[in-house]
Amino acid sequence: MSAYTNSRELILEILLQITRDGEYSHIALKNALDQYQYLDKKERAFITRAVNGTLERMIELDYILDQFSKVKVGKMKPVIRTILRSGVYQMKYMDSVPNSAVCNESVKLAVKKGFTNLRGFVNGVLRNISRNLEDIRYPSEEDKVYHLSVRYSLPEWLLKQWLAQYDEASARRMAEEFLKEKPVTVRFNPERISKKELIQMLEAEDVCVKEDETFPCALHLSGYDHLSGLLSFRQGYYQVQDISSMQVAEWAEVQKDDYVIDVCAAPGGKALHMAECLKGSGHVEARDLTEYKVGLIRENIMRSGLTNIEALRWDALQPDERVIGKADIVIADLPCSGLGVLGKKPDLRYKMTREAQKELAALQRDILAVVSGYVKPGGKLLYSTCTVNREENEENAGWIQEHCEGFRLIREKQTLPGRDAGDGFYLAMFRKEGS
């Protein structure tokens, strides 16, 4: 069995876990690559790109398949549909793989999975598309929403929402940005290692490093296999964190001995950043709902070597009477629709619905009603999401001022992919009246 066949079988299984079984893409991909750590760097990169790319372009891929297949995508068996989607993606967007190899290996995979009777169907559809890749007919731009939906593989309801909340140029920029491959952004602790030393260490580990122009402690990494394989990561010199969320600690302007509560903290980037800013003083409580999420925070705390931070399992909807009116700073980075990070979690564009958005906006208000009570007079509440939906962002910031007594909005910011650096991210900072 060839390496390509092994890789494609794994790609198929990962995609089925996501599209058929409902697993989140980043979890399914991580679990598979952790299980097959013996795969070489090039093969792991191929698997990652094929999985994420197929998900990113799935609406476009289905549109193409429907032009060349008598059996429409919605009527296909899940295994065959997934083989064809991945095959079309590889032919159209992965130049390193010959189209003939894609067709042949896709047929072999269909046979191996028990669909010998459909080998001719798979072969015929993919070879027909291969011959006509340059002549694909796309929807007319006169039907703006449908055209954008197919071109950028975004659901029509979402594009309608963006076009209602933002101008067309912003919507297009976001859509384009989510399809671009990007490096991983990390924040390093200058108290533990200098930028120069860390860059030298990373380059010695064959990592491509780019400094960030805005945040001195941010670096953009690419070209590595997996982070856990890097000694620099295991030694806790840096944490994965987007530059947009680094603003939380910057805005907070934490003071010596401050008591900070991060109510939905996993995996802990913002809480760790606050603990670093405290330089050994004060105390940070990083909370989350499940043992799994708290475990992720604890892993990052252990790597960091910080001693003024702890992880605690707590349901943010349940009031904690012990801390009412005691926190200098409360960070409320709450569960949201995640539409600002579609480039990192491409399956969210298909999982999220308008109804789910409304439920999340209501959940955010329920949590805010509880955790705002932890802020002491004169203290700060930082509310943030990784989405670009105004109902979850600006409208909820207005709700805080109306329903959480004593809070005054100090500043707010919405970053948009393609317009601003970093993820789509909303941040609002409030101060509680009193002293």
| pLDDT digit string (tens) for the chain, length 435 residues | 344 448 899 999 999 999 999 999 999 999 998 888 888 888 999 999 999 999 999 999 999 999 999 999 999 999 999 999 999 999 999 988 899 999 999 999 999 999 999 999 999 999 999 999 989 999 999 999 999 999 999 999 999 999 999 999 999 999 999 999 999 999 999 999 999 999 999 999 999 999 999 999 999 999 998 888 899 999 999 999 999 999 999 999 999 999 999 999 999 999 999 999 999 999 999 999 999 999 999 999 999 999 999 999 999 999 999 999 999 999 999 999 999 999 999 999 999 999 999 999 999 999 999 999 999 999 999 999 999 999 999 999 999 999 999 999 999 999 999 999 999 999 999 999 986
Q: Which two tokens stand for residue 186?
A: 């990390």
DSSP 330: E
For 278: left if phi > 0, alpha if psi spans -120 to 50, otherwise beta; the answer is: alpha
3-state SS class at 65: helix
Please tell me the pTM assigned to this model: 0.93
Cα–Cα distance, 86 to 392 (Å, whole number): 34
Contacts 24+ apart (CB under 8 A), 291-298: 293/266, 293/267, 294/266, 296/266, 296/267, 296/268, 297/265, 297/266, 297/267, 297/268, 297/271
Of the candidates 305, 303, 309, the one whose C-alpha atom is nearest the C-alpha of residue 282 is 309
Exposure letters 7-21 (e unless 16+ CB within 10 A, then b): bbbbbbbbbbbbbee
Instruction: Name the helix (H) or strand (E) containing 128.
Output: helix 119-131
- The Cα 179–Cα 175 span in angstroms is 7
- 336 flagged as catalytic: no
Given the residues 103, 217, 277, 386, select the one marked as catalytic: 386
